[in-house]
Structure 1
Amino acid sequence: MPREMRSSSDVEYSPVGEGFGMREFWLYVWLRRVSVIAAHIISVGLFILTSILSRPGASLFSWHPVCMSLGFGLCMTEGILLFSAEGSPFCFKSRKWKVRLHWFFQALLLVCGATGFSFIVASKNISEHSHFTSWHSLLGIGTMAATVLQAICGVFLIFPKLISTQSFPRLKLYHATCGLVAYLLVTITIMSSMFTDWFQATVKGTMWYIFLMLPLFPALVVMNQITSAFLPKKKITS
């Protein structure tokens, strides 16, 4: 067939192009699926292990790591990953239901965060220890502030009549950006908690290093999901 008479379909269904393209596509999909499933497992596992280590009910302080790991470690992760198309246990096809479930997780996150904060304040008041003297506590305050700011952006998205219609598209980007910053702060705060006297006295040796590395994986998955969804994509032209 002459070159000028070949249609675009002849190139599109070329055996070589199809082979390389499909292999790369399926590999990418399965890697994303495995990564999302692993992020779910790690988040649930960290919450369960933290609950076992803290022995809730033994003291006022024991409820602090339980509430914080439930809210920031589990609910926040699940509230973001439910929008992932690969490996999410929430199989709602309707985005409306995904948004509602997202708000449920975020509301539970705020309740758990406020409860955990109250327990640590009460515990330090009883023991007469100073407040906000460690990096972990200062990071925790910053994380709470970023989470509240992200929630405020979300409220405006649910009730768009409260703001100008022109700023609504940008608000989605602001909401996602605040969520990403808040999640990164959560990861750093969780990792900093492993340098506290309580955690180092409870977990030692190789297990301590494993605990230190585990929060990084869900953070990478969440960061990839948010940036892939909201960053502008370049149009590739031949």
Structure 2
Amino acid sequence: MPSDVEYSPVGEGLGMRDYWLYVWLRRAAVIAAHVTGLGLTLIISLLSRPGTSLFSWHPVCMSVAYCLCMTEGILLFSAERSPFCFKSRKCKVRLHWFCQALVLIAAATGLGFMLASKNVSELPHLVTWHSWLGISTLAATVLQASCGICLIFPKLLRLSSSPLRLKLYHATCGLLVYLLATVTVVSAMFSDWFQATVKGVAWWGFLLLPLFPALVVMNQITNAYLPRKKITS
């Protein structure tokens, strides 16, 4: 007997698209998430002053990986207005692969600079919550990339799950990885380096900035894969 539950965008068939204010607010939120991810990456890169030390490259690489590449890699699938809205689904998937590959490369590079900086300074590793969260995020990112490979080559890997179910698992795990990355970025705001660089009201602004793209990404993924009852006429 066929299932009476399907995965499709929330609001489909419910008349939500007829409300122009709802539509434009969603579009504005997605555009703001793009701007926030890019702006946060640029500002952190400027504050880090890359090249002044080995450590200075760590915030740059990590912000490029998670604030920019991972955010864009997910938001390009948004049904709302996007810089990639004119691209086909197949092209979006390829761009998603490319963005996630950049995430892994930039994150691994940032980790390398951090390890080198600690070794040169003869400081201990993994002594803060941020460092443990960072390692956990990087490990989760690698696992999520492996899930993506399974989604690309299900027949070659002889997976029994249906493509729809694999997409659901991939999207759900991707959301968890992105939320973990957001927590890691927020924890970086409490580091000695960041608190010495940014103070006062500006610090509170930086603390809130990573949360906005996370809310937009969470809304996008849950809307795309939230189960609902089929509406029959």
TM-score normalised by structure 2 residue count? 0.89
Q: Aligned match of 2:107 in 77, 88, 113? A: 113
2:160 counterpart SS class: helix
- Quick one: distance in 2 between partners of 1:154 and 1:197? 36
- Quick one: distance in 2 between partners of 1:182 and 1:221? 15
**1:173 corresponds to which residue?**
168
Q: CA deviation at 1:62?
A: 0.2
**1:219 corresponds to which residue?**
214
Q: Aligned match of 2:224 in 216, 229, 232? A: 229
1:166 counterpart SS class: coil
- CA distance 1:141–1:22, change in 2 (3 Å): closer
Equivalent pair of 1:157/1:168 in contact (CA under 8 Å): no
Q: CA deviation at 1:161?
A: 2.0
Say whether residues 1:182 and 2:177 are aligned partners.
yes
Equivalent pair of 1:149/1:178 in contact (CA under 8 Å): no
CA-based RMSD of the aligned residues comes to: 1.6
Cα deviations by residue, 1:24-52 (Å, 9 ceiling, x for unpaired): 62222111100000000000000010011
Cα deviations by residue, 1:126-151 (Å, 9 ceiling, x for unpaired): 00111011000000011111111110
1:148 is matched by which residue type in structure 2?
V
**2:205 corresponds to which residue?**
210
Q: CA deviation at 1:22?
A: 7.2
Residues 81-96 of structure 1: pairs in structure 2 closer than 5 A: 81-96=75-90
- Compare 170-179 and 95-104 and name the one that shifted more: 170-179
1:215 is matched by which residue type in structure 2?
P
**1:136 corresponds to which residue?**
130
Equivalent pair of 2:41/2:64 in contact (CA under 8 Å): yes
- Compare 86-95 and 39-48 and name the one that shifted more: 86-95
Say whether residues 1:63 and 2:92 are aligned partners.
no
TM-score normalised by structure 1 residue count? 0.87
**1:8 corresponds to which residue?**
none
**1:38 corresponds to which residue?**
32
**Structure with higher RCO (Cα < 8 A, 6+ apart):** 2
2:20 counterpart SS class: helix
2:117 is matched by which residue type in structure 1?
S
**2:66 corresponds to which residue?**
72
Give the percent of matched residue pairs that are identical in Structure 1 and Structure 2: 72
- Quick one: distance in 2 between partners of 1:198 and 1:211? 14
- Quick one: distance in 2 between partners of 1:22 and 1:144? 38
Normalized per residue, the structure richer in helix is 1
1:233 counterpart SS class: strand
1:161 counterpart SS class: coil
Say whether residues 1:196 and 2:191 are aligned partners.
yes
**1:48 corresponds to which residue?**
42
2:94 counterpart SS class: helix
- In structure 1, stretches of 5+ residues that fail to align are 1-20
- Quick one: distance in 2 between partners of 1:174 and 1:22? 27
